Amino acid sequence: MIIDCHVHVGRGERLNDVFQIDCTVERAEYLMDKAGVDKSVIFPVAYEDYTGPNTEIAEIARTNKKFIGFARLHNDMPNAAAHLKHAVKELGLAGLKLGAVPNREIMDAALELKIPVLAHCGMGMAPIKYEGVAKSYPDVPLILAHLGFDQGWENMFAYPLQAIYLAKTYKNVYLDTSASIWIQYVIEQAVREVGADKIIFGSDGPWFYPSIMLACIRDLELSESDEAKILCDNIAGLLRL
């Protein structure tokens, strides 16, 4: 089985950001089927208010078993913990996607709910900023997206090293591979330094195609067991599938 841990779905409302609008579930499923992906973790594109979009994601996951839904929240959202608890306990969402370093209210709720947190990392966000979260909440699985990759030359190589450091230092830190195809050797370095047990396959679909990201993983010529950990077993374990 192959599980993609990082896929965006939703109509979106930021019309000045073409990457955050009209990411349909049909497109996500087409790319999955084309790549041979069995399941995908989906969450909303960017919104100002995630109440409705979280409900939409939950309904998609309820009616199509190819999808596993994660909630999204803003740090400054009033009653964030209550919204997260509703999303998990009432809507049935299985985790949380964040676009910034979370506050204690959100992390306390994630700890209580026993869910993983997938956090935006790199792409303008230095991975080292998450060290306090990893240290303070050792029982909350923290998945750092994009292997910490940053598109700017200044941090393109430095940020992934920060992410690798965090995964090596903290038992609860994992790295997802989404949108890291520009520096494929860093994926190999991460596997070598932190082990396949800490790497999770993600594409950042629909903007990055899962078929291309899968090719990057398979090109590493890992052992069958290590490849299975990255493509399925690690995220399946965190989600208790």
Span 18-43, pLDDT tens digits? 567 688 999 999 999 999 999 999 99
Domain ranges in the chain are 3-238
Q: pLDDT tens across 165-196, in order?
A: 999 999 999 999 998 776 778 899 999 999 99
Arithmetic mean of pLDDT over the chain? 93
3-state helix vs strand vs coil in the chain, percent to 5:
50, 15, 35
**Using 50, 70 and 90 to split pLDDT, how confident is the model at 17?**
low
What's the pTM? 0.95
Q: pLDDT tens across 189-234, in order?
A: 999 999 999 999 999 999 999 999 999 999 999 999 999 999 999 9
Helix 184-194 × helix 210-218 angle, to 10°: 50
The 3-state secondary structure of 134-190 reads HHHCCCCCEEEHHHHCCCCCCCCCHHHHHHHHHHHHCCCEEEECCCCHHHHHHHHHH
Strand order in the sheet with 39-44: 3-9, 39-44, 67-72, 95-98, 117-119, 142-144, 173-176, 199-200
State the pLDDT at residue 18.
Answer: 59
State the pLDDT at residue 11.
Answer: 86
Q: 60 with 69: CB under 8 angstroms? A: yes
State the pLDDT at residue 239.
Answer: 98
Q: Which CATH architecture has domain 3-238?
A: Alpha-Beta Barrel (3.20)
- pLDDT exceeding 90 applies to what percent of the chain? 80
Q: pLDDT tens across 92-146, in order?
A: 999 999 999 999 999 999 999 999 999 999 888 899 999 999 999 999 999 999 9
